[in-house]
Amino acid sequence: MELLFITLGGVILGLGARYFLPNRDRHGVVLIPAIGAAVSAVVWVGLTWLGWAWDGGWIWVVTLVVTAAVVVIADLIIGRTRKQHDQRRLEALLSRNIPVPG
């Protein structure tokens, strides 16, 4: 049951990163929340395998802090990479004299 709660927390952190950080127009609606869910679940399971008690406070804090850091970094990197890729693609299309819709 705790794994479900921590995964939901990862989704919520991902949604927060999606809507409070720039570049939300550079990736899909579900991508960053899905990364948050996956990271929180993996970190939680990893910490429980290391012997951290699921009813202890530190496992919650560490999992949510790591998840928050990963979703922020992922959002910024994906947005920047996508922007650069889109710019290169536009320049390639314009250099071929192909009309760009819009």
Closest CA to 9 of 49, 46, 53, 60: 60
Q: What is the mean pLDDT of residues 63-67?
A: 98
Residue 100 pLDDT level (bands cut at 50, 70, 90): low
SS percent in the chain: helix, strand, coil, step 5: 80, 0, 20
Q: Is the pLDDT of residue 65 over 90?
A: yes
Distance, first Cα to last Cα, the chain: 49
Q: Higher-confidence residue: 11 or 94?
A: 11
Q: Is the pLDDT of residue 11 over 70?
A: yes
Please provide the DSSP assignment of 5-49 as one string.
HHHHHHHHHHHHHHHHSS-GGGS-TTHHHHHHHHHHHHHHHHHHH
